[in-house]
Amino acid sequence: MNYTLTNDQIQSYRSNGFLILEDFLTPDETKYWRDTIDLAVKNRKGRKFPHSEVKTGESDGINDNAEYFGKVFDQIVNLWMTDDKVKELMLDKRIGKMACQLADVDGIRVWHDQSLVKQPWGNPTAWHLDTPFWSFEHKEALSIWVALEDVTLQNGCMYFLPGTQLETEFTEPGIGSNMDDVFRTYPKFRTNNPVPAVIKAGSCTFHNGLTIHAAGVNMTPNTRKAMTCAYMPDGSVFNGKKNVLPEDYFNSLTIGDLLNNEAQNPLIYHKDWEKEAV
């Protein structure tokens, strides 16, 4: 795993709101990630969340229009909670450190991971923001998106609108069937040019959850498999939204509570750990 970031890469992430990292994993690591994640997905038997019976493709209270959204991708959330090998991959502190360096924060917690498989002929992923869905508000929340197969213009690569993270907000434009719905909230970005992230298996992207992004339609008879993990800066507090939180935990929270439950949002890296190691 190439987990070192140059200053140029960090600066590029800060101004553009995303970063493409070629050859993040070695070919052997890529195969291990793909095999491990395939098995963990299989064992979930279509269950979208660890704590409910909702199946991927069914209405989940987060996205409306299940019929359309079910064919955007198969979405299995928090695989780390149901598979120890995925847990080892997702809680890797080297990745946590990268996330901290990009976000310029002291510590980072897992918000949720998700396996995203665009099936053959899968619908495109409409332009959207991530952070407005989540149960906390932090301008530096971010995600890693690891390609488990070669990702091309044909099979549904990610696209980013550079710099938009500096001007978007936490209000929830949602994600619907129309590619351009987000521009009703952000008309000024309608004429911006997107950057596609065509990457080989084992390469990855990072993006700020406030960067407007999308993914293309899968115009191939093959899958497009990606593994992603969303990160919450340590110290973030509950904003009242349920998102992926299990019912019991959600009901126990009051707006303003620190989201520091290790079983739900493990801290995977903190700057202080470096001092302790010395």
CB neighbour class for 252 (10 Å; exposed up to 12, middle 13-18, buried from 19): exposed
* Window of 87-95, 127-135, 229-237, 259-267 that interacts with Fe ion by CB under 5 A: 127-135
Which residue of 130, 140, 149, 234 would you call a contact of Fe ion, by CB under 5 A? Answer: 130
Which positions from 251 through 270 interact with ligand AKG, judged by CB under 6 A? none
Smaller CB distance to ligand AKG: residue 100 or 144? 144
Pick the closer one to ligand AKG by CB: 101 or 143: 143
Q: Out of 168, 218, 228, 236, point to the residue binding ligand AKG (CB under 6 A).
A: 228
- The half-sphere exposure of 7 on its side-chain side, counting CA atoms within 13 A, is 0
- How many other CB atoms are found less than 10 A from the CB of residue 2? 16
- The CB-of-213 to Fe ion minimum distance in angstroms stands at 6
Three-state SS at 88:
helix
Please state the closest distance from residue 211 (CB atom) to ligand AKG, in A.
Answer: 9
- The partner in contact with residue 36, picked from ligand AKG, Fe ion, none with C-beta cut-offs of 5 to 8 angstroms by kind, is none
Q: Are 118 and 73 in contact (CB under 8 A)?
A: yes
| Region of residue 31 (left: phi > 0; alpha: psi -120 to 50; beta: else) | alpha
Q: For residues 220 and 72, what is the distance between their CA atoms, to the nearest angstrom? A: 14
Contact 206, 21 (CB under 8 A): yes
**Shortest reach from residue 125's CB to ligand AKG, in Å:** 4
User: For the window 59-78, what string marks contact with ligand AKG as x by the rule CB under 6 A?
Assistant: --------------x-----
- Chain residues binding ligand AKG by CB under 6 A are 73, 116, 125, 130, 143, 145, 213, 215, 226, 228
